[in-house]
Structure 1
Amino acid sequence: MNILITGGAGFIGSNLSLRLLEKGYQVTVLDNLLPQVHGENPEEESPLFQNILGKVNFIKGDVTKKSDWQKVLNNQDAIIHLAALTGTGQSMYQIDKYTDVNVSGTAKMLDVLVNESHQIKKVILASSRAVYGEGKYFHKDLGIVYPESRKLGDLENADFEVKSNMGEILTPLPTDESSSLHPISVYGITKQIQEQLVMSVCSSVNIDAVALRFQNVYGAGQSLQNPYTGILSIFSSQILNDENLNIFEDGEESRDFIYIDDAVEAIILSLENTDLNKEIFNIGTGISTTVLDVAKTLKKYYKKDIEINISGQFRIGDIRHNFAEISWAQKKLNFYPKISFEEGIRKFTTWVLKQKKGKINLNQSLNEMREKGLLK
């Protein structure tokens, strides 16, 4: 099969490309080599791009340009649509840009699929746990509840837990695929719209559609220069530069971290299962890990005597807890993540220590959010 991967030079995309090549697929990559991810000179600065250069059919292009979609679709059997702007914080002040890339870019893909000749049989969309917003919680009297965003006044008073309307602390539950969708960031909203567009349009033209709601994907190969790439890269940069860590909120906010190899395996399972259409799957581990535990684990593996400071700062648009219920992916995809968080961090830190030492310009991203009133 001939597979088109949009965003195929990125973290997930480059790892997926190499794995598909190993399995005998023909891979075409469409990627605009965004400087924020790949640097100004990708052939020299981007290990992600270097890993696939000369191995895949690489086409530099932009998903927001219909002409680029028309260039790459010929003779392709499936599309794995990874290209997107990511990062909840940045999405809250680059609204037009995120909407243009994530929503309009997907719309242009679908417009070409509906109106022009091709042989695409399946579209796999990389969605996000961000579509669940604050997620799913339990109340002792009300049962299952889907709370709205935390109140600004509570956050300013360092009262960070999610509460009911009566002010009672709620118990977080894993989100299953039938959980209420109520994204609270622009990024999350764009991913929900992407899902709806793909599911609706593909079914109308007899193309199988799958959406994978990824939790926090991490691992060897992720960008170590992008300040919006996630806390593992940010914390690693700070620790290795002997900087103390600044932990937002109280450090007890939690996420579900899934290693890159398991994320790639989920995509391949979705590609090779021929009995999928209009299916949505959570892709995570089902295990919740606090940000404070992440910091402590990284500090242990890097063997650095830095301090971990709980700052009480918070970002507008951030959620408190989210972890996945993955039983549907286990049943339908036979997806079982194999790499534990401890093993994944060991693999990640071992890889980081072999890379050229760099420094993420975190202050720039924080200052941008502060200027927009999004960092408190």
Structure 2
Amino acid sequence: MKVIIIGSKGFIGQNLVKYFEYKNYQVWKADVVVDYADTDRYFLIDVSNSDFNTVFHFQKYDICINCSGAASVPDSLKNPMRDYYLNAVNVFKILSAINQFQPECKFINLGSAAVYGNPQTLPVSEDAKRNPLSPYGFHKLQAEQICEEFYSFFKLQTCSLRIFSVYGAGLQKQLFWDLNKKANSGETFTLFGTGEESRDFIHVDDLARAIERVAQSTYFRADVINIANGEEVKIKDAVATFFSFYPYDIRYSFSGDSRKGDPLNWKADILRLKSLGYHPSVKMVDGLKGYYDWLHVE
């Protein structure tokens, strides 16, 4: 299978490149990052005026996986136009290029569980009400609608993945990265929320396996699929597990104040994903230990 991964220099993109190359797929890459060492099957995208025509004009692919885009709720509140462009407009541009040059290429867009907002019931299924709490969530929802548009009117084979909370070695942002920085300060610190908030975490290795199952088995009829492990983990428990690996006591508390745009509780219904043959393989305690070891390698 020939695969093009757009956003190949990001955290998820890099891991997908490694995974698909390990599985002996033919992999092409595209990103805005200038890397003179990475010239083999690599397309440099102009960050000021993204144009994906050259990506699809001369080379044929079986599937395109879009890992590009912004991934910050607070950032989307500060700069919604940038978030809209990266998370919605670029999806339209990619699909336009596919439609023009190789409409047989299948397309997977990496979306977000942020489209749900605060679910009314858990676990949340793909048919649940969508109620984004941030510009980021709205733009990810618009990207899904763009995928549906190109399927409905141009018969492109598309699929949107609602990805929950991804973590793993190499991630340099979000909860556990921030926890490590605070722990290293040696000072007492305060975390947002009450600790009773919950997330459905998935290790990046499991994410890669899940995406492969989708690529091989879904119908690509503007499908929407939850990508998670179907396990609700309270933030206070995730924090305690992560800090248990440190050789010293860490003093912290929860402020009780929620951060704007953040949902309270998440647990995914992953029956649709499991029907494609996916099963979680990385236990969270092992995944967090691996992340801790990566952070503290000498």
Hey, what does 1:231 align to over in structure 2? 175
Q: Structure 1, unaligned stretches of length 5 or more?
A: 34-41, 44-49, 138-172, 224-228, 356-376
Hey, what does 2:138 align to over in structure 1? 189
Does the 8 Å contact 1:17/1:56 carry over to 2?
Answer: no
Aligned pair 1:339/2:288, yes or no? Answer: no
- Residues 1-376 of structure 1 correspond to what in structure 2 (within 5 A)? 1-33=1-33, 54=38, 57-62=41-46, 65-66=49-50, 68-73=51-56, 74-77=58-61, 78-114=63-99, 116-118=100-102, 120-137=104-121, 173-223=122-172, 229-273=173-217, 275-331=219-275, 333-354=276-297
Does the 8 Å contact 2:98/2:105 carry over to 1?
Answer: no
Q: Normalising by structure 2, report the TM-score.
A: 0.92
Number of paired residues?
296
Q: Normalising by structure 1, report the TM-score.
A: 0.74
Q: Per the alignment, in what secondary structure is the counterpart of residue 13 of structure 1?
A: helix
Letter in 2 for 1:319: P
Measured in 2, the distance between the counterparts of 1:122 and 1:299 equals 42
**Residue-by-residue CA offset, 1:95-152 (whole Å, 9 max, x unaligned):** 11101111111111122233x2225420001011100011133xxxxxxxxxxxxxxx
Measured in 2, the distance between the counterparts of 1:279 and 1:345 equals 31
The 1:245–1:304 alpha-carbon spacing in structure 2 relative to 1, beyond 3 Å, is farther
Measured in 1, the distance between the counterparts of 2:106 and 2:47 equals 18
The 1:182–1:63 alpha-carbon spacing in structure 2 relative to 1, beyond 3 Å, is farther
Hey, what does 1:367 align to over in structure 2? none
Rg (Cα) greater in structure: 1
Letter in 1 for 2:280: P
Does the 8 Å contact 1:3/1:76 carry over to 2?
Answer: no
Letter in 2 for 1:251: G
Letter in 2 for 1:29: K
Q: What's the offset of the Cα at 1:232?
A: 0.9
Q: CA RMSD in A?
A: 2.0
**Residue-by-residue CA offset, 1:209-255 (whole Å, 9 max, x unaligned):** 111111100001212xxxxx311111012213324342112111111
The 1:97–1:319 alpha-carbon spacing in structure 2 relative to 1, beyond 3 Å, is same
Q: Per the alignment, in what secondary structure is the counterpart of residue 302 of structure 1?
A: coil
Q: Percent identity?
A: 28
Q: What's the offset of the Cα at 1:310?
A: 1.7
The 1:99–1:218 alpha-carbon spacing in structure 2 relative to 1, beyond 3 Å, is same
Measured in 2, the distance between the counterparts of 1:119 and 1:210 equals 14
Measured in 1, the distance between the counterparts of 2:202 and 2:107 equals 22
**Residue-by-residue CA offset, 1:302-328 (whole Å, 9 max, x unaligned):** 223120122233321111111111111
Q: Per the alignment, in what secondary structure is the counterpart of residue 301 of structure 1?
A: coil
